[in-house]
């Protein structure tokens, strides 16, 4: 028997093993090993190439046929073995691994940075609000330019455009004129392909080199603000949430061909902009989907509902997060707080008698008086037929009557059951509107519009501090991220406040990028990749051998 000798290395998201025997290992030229690592091909295909490199003296004395025979015998033949394809990817989707917003341990992005400080590179970027992801050696994001839906790959080490793919969009979904973009959902990668979603088109898959793999078109969504939910990977499926003012649904397609695996209608859900996450507990994995009033857990293989918990806003923009065995979320929308400022729908019959001028049993926009109801005309008119009908009115009245903005934590009971009864706590202050919260190092952080940060105990809801001012006013649309003991909070005007993680509020830096930011950064190794209104930046502190 010959002792086996394994040589291990990684290429992108895959790990490889060069498997041979211990006696042969010293005879293999280093150039040969480099060739194997670069190409990942069988030994036989590279043996000839490697003989052009410097070869150990013992091999020079052997005939070529013997060397090739030695290489190809079962005893000595090395094999390249692809390792576990589920090796963690550094930042594969919106908010990184499983949407947590937390960089892998060991990542050390800079604390202070800006257009002229710790900027390894910056590259002009077309308009869009999608966040960058890490796909192999590239960053991938989407954009909108000249009636085209763009997918762009930038080299991580230089910012150079590696590839650019366009989809013509003769019909573009409605988006908010100042806050929305047809390129808002963030791509996702499984390490082999990149999947993108545009509300004005649907899903498309690309190989990591930009080769188109498949497309799955969808009908134009109706949300007024534009699609924002990002695709996620759940097993062999790509899952896309399409909550809208009427006809909401959740779609799962097969990763390898884009064909429908399952589709679930969500008739009780109106417009929403959160992204699903996966939550594993008690030997099960739930696909957790935010929506109108409800957080719902589904079987990711079939879409069958397993549980639902109440407490979300009537329009949910945030994404839930998983922390150990807990599921945490926070959401807020105008009119959903108890007390002053709460919006309530008038009683249908009385309002109809008062304002239905043509007595046809429904409302036109012109018949509604100025006020909170008329301001939400598109939200009410779910089927977009130009009328507010009784069923639409009563559905929305029920939503307004039941909603109560809050943050909460869920933990399954001993049998794995999830319900309102397994909610650990509810908290109703300092809530985020668009920026998703983050669970990091045993604490749960929320950022409220205006620049106010709250830190809670994720198991008890105890506030270690509440609505501490970041010193950067404005709305907060980019979601919270964390790395190396720091929390990164980004205002829409473009100020990044870096806060020390912990029970006491401590601001470490404020970094003004000089233009609006709505995209959430990606973090890989020691680099913070951040998209502003017109630029894509790579921020990184220089190493001693990399002066700036």
pLDDT, tens digit, 9 for 90 and up, residues 427-448: 999 999 999 999 999 999 999 9
Q: Band the pLDDT of 190: cuts 50, 70, 90.
A: very high
Mean pLDDT for the stretch of residues 102-130: 97
Identify the bridge partners of residue 109 per DSSP, sorted by sequence position: none
**Least confident piece of the model among 11-20, 402-411, 441-450, 524-533:** 11-20
Q: Which residues contact 436 (CB under 8 A, 6 or more apart)?
A: 95, 99, 101, 274, 318, 319, 321, 479, 480, 520
Q: Band the pLDDT of 13: cuts 50, 70, 90.
A: very low
Mean pLDDT for the stretch of residues 345-355: 95
**Least confident piece of the model among 41-55, 92-106, 120-134:** 41-55
Is the model more confident about 372 or about 243? 243
Give the pLDDT score at 83: 34
Give the pLDDT score at 168: 96
Mean pLDDT for the stretch of residues 372-400: 91
Give the pLDDT score at 67: 40
Angle at 212 between CA 140 and CA 190, to 5 degrees: 50
Q: Report the chain's mean pLDDT, rounded to a whole number.
A: 87
Q: What percent of the chain has pLDDT over 70?
A: 83
Torsion sign across C-alpha atoms 274, 277, 282, 283: positive
Is 1.10.3720.10 the CATH number for 97-333+403-539?
no
Is the model more confident about 544 or about 391? 391
Looking at residue 474, what DSSP letter applies?
Answer: S
Give the pLDDT score at 382: 87
Strands 284-290 and 277-281: antiparallel
Cβ pair 251, 207 in contact under 8 A: no
Give the pLDDT score at 66: 42
Whole-prediction pTM: 0.83
CATH node for 348-402: 1.10.238
In the chain, where the domains are located: 4-82, 97-333+403-539, 348-402
**Euclidean distance between CA atoms 440 and 391, whole angstroms:** 43
Q: Band the pLDDT of 503: cuts 50, 70, 90.
A: very high
**Euclidean distance between CA atoms 434 and 498, whole angstroms:** 19
């Amino acid at each position: 028997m010959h002792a086996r000798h394994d040589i291990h290395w990684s290429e992108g998201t895959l790990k490889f093993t060069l498997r041979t025997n211990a006696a042969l290992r010293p005879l293999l030229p280093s150039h040969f090993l480099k060739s194997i690592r670069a190409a990942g091909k069988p030994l036989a295909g590279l043996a000839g190439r490697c003989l052009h490199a410097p070869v150990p003296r013992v091999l020079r004395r052997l005939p070529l046929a013997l060397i090739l025979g030695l290489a190809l015998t079962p005893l000595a033949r090395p094999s390249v073995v692809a390792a576990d394809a589920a090796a963690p990817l550094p930042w594969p989707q919106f908010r990184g691994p499983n949407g947590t917003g937390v960089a892998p341990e060991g990542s050390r992005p800079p604390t202070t940075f800006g257009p002229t400080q710790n900027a390894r590179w910056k590259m002009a970027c077309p308009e869009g609000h999608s966040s960058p992801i890490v796909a192999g050696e590239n960053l991938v994001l989407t954009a909108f330019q000249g009636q085209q839906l763009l997918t762009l790959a930038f080299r991580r080490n230089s910012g150079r455009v590696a590839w650019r793919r366009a989809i013509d969009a003769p019909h573009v979904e409605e988006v908010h004129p100042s806050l929305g973009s047809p390129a808002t959902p963030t791509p996702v990668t499984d390490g082999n392909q990149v999947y993108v979603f545009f509300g004005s088109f649907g899903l498309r898959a690309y190989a990591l080199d930009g080769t188109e793999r498949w497309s799955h078109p969808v009908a134009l969504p109706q949300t007024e603000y534009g699609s924002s939910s990002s695709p996620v990977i759940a097993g062999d499926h790509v899952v896309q949430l399409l909550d809208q003012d009427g006809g909401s649904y959740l779609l799962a397609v097969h990763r390898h061909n884009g064909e429908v695996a399952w589709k679930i209608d969500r008739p009780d859900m109106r417009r929403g902009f959160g992204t699903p996450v996966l939550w594993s507990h008690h030997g099960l994995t739930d696909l957790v989907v935010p929506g109108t009033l409800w957080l719902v857990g589904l079987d990711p293989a079939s879409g069958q509902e397993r549980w639902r918990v109440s407490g979300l806003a009537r329009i949910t923009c945030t994404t839930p997060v998983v922390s150990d065995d807990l599921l945490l979320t926070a959401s807020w929308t105008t009119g959903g707080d108890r007390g002053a400022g709460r919006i309530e729908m008038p009683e249908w019959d009385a309002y109809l008698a008062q304002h239905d001028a043509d007595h046809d049993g429904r409302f036109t926009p012109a018949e509604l008086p100025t006020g909170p109801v008329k301001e939400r005309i598109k939200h009410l008119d779910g089927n977009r037929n130009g009328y507010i009908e009784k069923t639409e009115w009563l559905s929305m009245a029920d939503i307004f009557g039941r909603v109560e903005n809050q943050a909460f934590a869920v933990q399954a009971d001993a049998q794995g059951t999830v319900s309102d009864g397994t909610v650990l706590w509810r908290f109703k202050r300092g809530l985020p509107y668009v920026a998703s919260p983050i669970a990091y190092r045993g604490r749960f952080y929320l950022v409220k519009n205006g620049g106010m940060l709250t830190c809670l105990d994720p198991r008890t809801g105890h506030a270690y501090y509440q609505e501490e001012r970041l010193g950067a006013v404005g709305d907060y649309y980019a979601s919270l991220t964390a790395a190396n003991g720091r929390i990164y909070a980004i205002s829409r005007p473009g100020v990044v406040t870096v806060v020390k993680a912990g029970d006491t509020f401590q601001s470490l830096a404020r970094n003004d990028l000089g233009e609006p930011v709505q995209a959430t950064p990606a973090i890989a190794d020691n680099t913070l990749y951040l998209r502003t209104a017109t630029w894509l930046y790579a921020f990184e502190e220089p190493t001693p051998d990399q002066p700036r």
